[in-house]
Amino acid sequence: MNRVFPTQQAPHMPSPRTVRGVMLQVLYALVPGVAAHAWYFGPGIFLQLGLACGFALAFEALMLRWRGRPLRPFLNDYSAVLTAVLFALCLPPLAPWWIAAIGMLFAIVIAKHLYGGLGHNIFNPAMVGYVVVLISFPAAMTQWLPPREIAAWTPDFLDACRAVFLGTLPVLPEIDSVTRATPLDTLKTGISQGRFVGELRNSDLFGTFGGRGWEWIANWYLLGGLYLLYRRIISWQVPVAVLLSVVAVTLPAWLLDAGTNPQPLQHLFSGGLMLAAFYIATDPVSGCASPRGRLIFGAGVGILTLVIRRWGGYPDGIAFAVLLMNLAAPMIDRFTRPRIYGR
């Protein structure tokens, strides 16, 4: 008797990769950076991560139901969680709880689902959320703590809860010592007041090559990014282009006039640059798809960030740079298609 078989088409081998797996790998790669963040700025970051993830999943579920999509595969793909984590990593650890709620509302509901959900969003959802709260609530978004080594006070988990949910900070003897400007902010204000970089860098806010504390968090992000490159989760073009373009622009400026231009390492290891280079600008959905396009995309992010840092109204311009390049991505892709074999 002849046996009958189902006829699915080739290839017949199972795929080794899943969307969920890719997202999880990125999350794993962030672990050392997050741990360093918690070490320098207290456990408030965990609270922000938890809040953002909670809101993100809630909004995701709501929108999936509303759009009539299956819940399970999309809630399990960790894409909303990754958006939430990247968003939360940009927040001051003691930012009020509603910042996360509003940020995730814009990230998940508007930037992601109203554009068609996973795979269809034009803008990086985490950056949309971040930019909305950054522009709308500047006071809450600039309440950064100094790193542990120089802080008069580092909050424990309970302090963080009180600050996030009730908005109460402890009263300390010295004025304005709970929150302080970030290193990038200090540089920007200082240079605009005609002071020199060398002089500004004497402040205890600065470390060996970047901002104190910040430089080590960025180092751990870099390490995680290298892991992602090794596992081929992200393409090398974007981070390499971001970092190289920053060095290429800042190195000559620094060599010409070290007084008003910070050194390249200072740029690389402060603000969100390292995080953006490996985790945010590499978002495939809103970025370029062609290999050459990714180089251009990365270079654009790097250069726009510098332009905003130097001339813009914000100390760090990475989020704006990413969103602006998101706008340009389809056009870049159009002009950078690879040559087809034999044509």
Partner 1 sequence: MKTDPRELASSAGEQLHRFHGGLRLRHNKKISCQQPVERPPLPERLYVPLLQHRGTPATPLIKAGDRVLKGQCIGASGPRGAPIHAPSSGLVLGLEEGPIGHLTGQTGTRVVIELDGEDRWGALEPLSDWLEQSPDVLRRHIQAAGIVGLGGAVFPTEEKLTSGQAARIETLILNGAECEPYISCDEMLMREHPRYIVEGARMLRRAAEAERVVIAIEDQMGAVHKALDRAARQLGAGSVRVVRIPKIYPEGGERQLVQTLTGMEVPAGSHPHELGLLVMNVATAAATRTALKEGKPLLERNVTVTGNGVQTPRNLLTLLGTPVSHLIACCGGYSDDVARLVVGGPMMGVPLPSDAAPVVKGTNCLLALSQDDIRAPQTEMPCIRCGDCTRSCPAQLMPQDLHFHIRNQQWDALAALGVESCIECGCCDFVCPSHIPLTNWFRYGKGELRELQRERHAAEHARERHEARTARLATAKAEKAARLARRKARLADQDGRKQQIAAALARAKGGRRNRPEDADS
Q: Which residues bind partner 1 (CB under 8 A)?
A: 2-19, 21-22, 70, 73, 77, 79, 117-120, 232, 235, 284-285, 287, 289-291, 294, 337-343
Q: How far is the CB of 70 from partner 1 (least distance, A)?
A: 8
| Alpha-carbon torsion (314, 320, 325, 328), positive or negative | negative
- Bridge partner residues of 206 (DSSP): 211
* Cα–Cα distance measured from residue 156 to residue 278, given in angstroms and rounded to the nearest whole number: 30
In degrees rounded to 5, what are phi and psi of residue 89?
A: -70, -15
Q: Which is nearer to partner 1, 74 or 206 (by Cβ)?
A: 74
The residue written with tokens 């914000």 in the block is: 314
Helix (H, G, I), strand (E, B) or coil at 212: coil
Q: Which is nearer to partner 1, 76 or 136 (by Cβ)?
A: 76
Q: How far is the CB of 320 from partner 1 (least distance, A)?
A: 22
Q: Which is nearer to partner 1, 50 or 119 (by Cβ)?
A: 119
Q: How far is the CB of 245 from partner 1 (least distance, A)?
A: 20
Q: How far is the CB of 329 from partner 1 (least distance, A)?
A: 10
Q: Which is nearer to partner 1, 4 or 139 (by Cβ)?
A: 4
* Cα–Cα distance measured from residue 249 to residue 144, given in angstroms and rounded to the nearest whole number: 28
Q: Which is nearer to partner 1, 72 or 158 (by Cβ)?
A: 72
In 3D space, the residue among 146, 136, 161, 119 whose CA is nearest the CA of residue 23 turns out to be: 119
Q: How far is the CB of 342 from partner 1 (least distance, A)?
A: 4
* Cα–Cα distance measured from residue 90 to residue 47, given in angstroms and rounded to the nearest whole number: 13
H, E, C per residue of 283-327: CCCCCCCCHHHHHHHHHHHHHHHHHHHHHCCCCCCHHHHHHHHHH
Q: How far is the CB of 237 from partner 1 (least distance, A)?
A: 9
* Cα–Cα distance measured from residue 41 to residue 93, given in angstroms and rounded to the nearest whole number: 7
* Cα–Cα distance measured from residue 319 to residue 334, given in angstroms and rounded to the nearest whole number: 24
Half-sphere exposure of 242 (CA within 13 A, CB side): 29
For the chain, how long is the longest CA-to-CA vector?
92
Cα–Cα distance list, 253 to 94, 261, 310, 315, 342 (Å): 36, 6, 12, 18, 44
Q: Which is nearer to partner 1, 158 or 339 (by Cβ)?
A: 339
Q: How far is the CB of 191 from partner 1 (least distance, A)?
A: 39
Q: How far is the CB of 189 from partner 1 (least distance, A)?
A: 39
Q: Which is nearer to partner 1, 3 or 173 (by Cβ)?
A: 3
Q: Which is nearer to partner 1, 70 or 194 (by Cβ)?
A: 70
